[in-house]
């Protein structure tokens, strides 16, 4: 028998087998047993789909509940520190020499001539809090340092959020093994603070941090460090470059509230 004839016979046999199988499947699918199995599969898929929807709704509801609780807490904060830096008052620098600013229209201004930072602490050990300050820089940076603690070598470690010039904001992480600074650019909303100072606000609840400039949310992040449970909060400023020239920072109205 030739090869072509064998192939033809094989194709016919395969076709007959497929037809038989199709007829058998149709007969089985119409049986009571098959219909029960189909219904079971449909039911399982429906259950899985519904479970997924409920899980999503529950997660959304939980998140909504958490934020509602936070908003309620924000309405019941307690002012625990305030410094308006009135002219003639001593501005204590815990980590260096006390400041002797000059005043422009009643607002203190400090020349920043070194590459580094200064923290004016509130000396309030807090877990959940809100902190605000009005500040403006010329070639320098200013902001709020928080979760300030001393490590095993008696060195201060902390987070900080703030602004520089040209509408830049930053997040400093001194908890990491290698301290880092992350800068981002965003056009700030117009200042509503006295004069031309920018109004900075930082909220911390649990591991969540939110940072605002002039009422606009700049950043929201998780502070996922076991050591960062509580710590001091302070006004933070300095210079991050070796550029020559006069760099200054002006500041006013540093306040800290504790969340209940």
Give me the residue spans of the domains in the chain.
Answer: 3-70, 80-258
Note the CATH number of domain 80-258.
2.60.120.560
Distance CA 195, CA 212 (A): 18
Non-local (6+) Cβ contacts of 101 within 8 A are 85, 91, 108, 109, 110
Query: Cα 231 vs. chain centroid, distance in angstroms?
Result: 18
Q: Tell me the range of 29-43, 126-140, 230-244 where mean pLDDT is highest.
A: 126-140
User: By percentage, how much of the chain surpasses pLDDT 90?
Assistant: 46
Q: Which two tokens stand for residue 178?
A: 């290698």
Contact 91, 85 (CB under 8 A): yes
Contact 204, 211 (CB under 8 A): no
pLDDT value for 49: 47
3-class SS string, 179-238 = CEEEEEECCCCCCCCCCCCEEEEEEEECCEEEEEECCEEEEEEECCCCCCCCEEEEEEEE
The pLDDT of residue 35 is above 70: no
The pLDDT of residue 18 is above 80: no
CA dihedral 25, 30, 31, 36 (to 10 degrees): 100
The pLDDT of residue 190 is above 90: no
pLDDT value for 46: 43
User: By percentage, how much of the chain surpasses pLDDT 70?
Assistant: 72
- Listed as own residue / partner, the contacts of 67-71 with beta carbons closer than 8 Å and 24 or more positions apart are 70/205
Q: Residue with structure tokens 């920043």? A: 112
Give the residue-averaged pLDDT of 113-136: 92
pLDDT value for 96: 77
- Residue 1's pLDDT band, with cuts at 50, 70 and 90, is low
């Amino acid at each position: 028998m030739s090869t072509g004839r064998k192939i033809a016979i094989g194709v016919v046999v395969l076709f007959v087998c497929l037809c038989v199988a199709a007829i058998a499947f149709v007969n089985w699918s119409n049986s009571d047993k098959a219909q029960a199995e189909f219904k079971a599969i449909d039911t399982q898929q429906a259950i899985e789909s519904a479970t997924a929807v409920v899980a999503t709704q529950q997660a959304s509801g939980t998140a909504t509940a958490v934020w509602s609780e936070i908003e309620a807490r924000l309405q019941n904060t307690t002012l625990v520190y305030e410094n308006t830096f009135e002219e003639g008052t001593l501005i204590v620098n815990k980590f260096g020499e006390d400041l002797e600013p000059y005043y422009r229209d009643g607002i203190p201004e400090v020349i920043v001539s070194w590459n580094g930072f200064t923290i004016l602490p509130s000396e309030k050990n807090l877990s959940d809090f809100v902190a605000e300050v009005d500040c403006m820089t010329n070639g320098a940076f200013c902001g709020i340092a928080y979760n300030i603690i001393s490590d095993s070598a008696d060195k201060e470690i902390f987070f900080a959020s703030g602004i520089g010039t040209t509408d830049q904001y930053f997040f400093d992480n001194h908890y990491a093994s290698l301290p880092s600074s992350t800068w981002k650019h965003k056009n700030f909303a117009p200042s509503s603070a006295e004069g031309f100072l920018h109004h900075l606000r930082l909220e911390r609840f649990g591991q969540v941090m939110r940072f605002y400039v002039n009422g606009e949310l700049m950043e929201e992040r998780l502070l996922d460090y076991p050591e960062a449970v509580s710590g001091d909060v302070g006004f933070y400023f300095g210079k991050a470059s070796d550029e020559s020239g006069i760099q200054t920072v002006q500041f006013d109205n540093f306040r800290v509230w504790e969340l209940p």
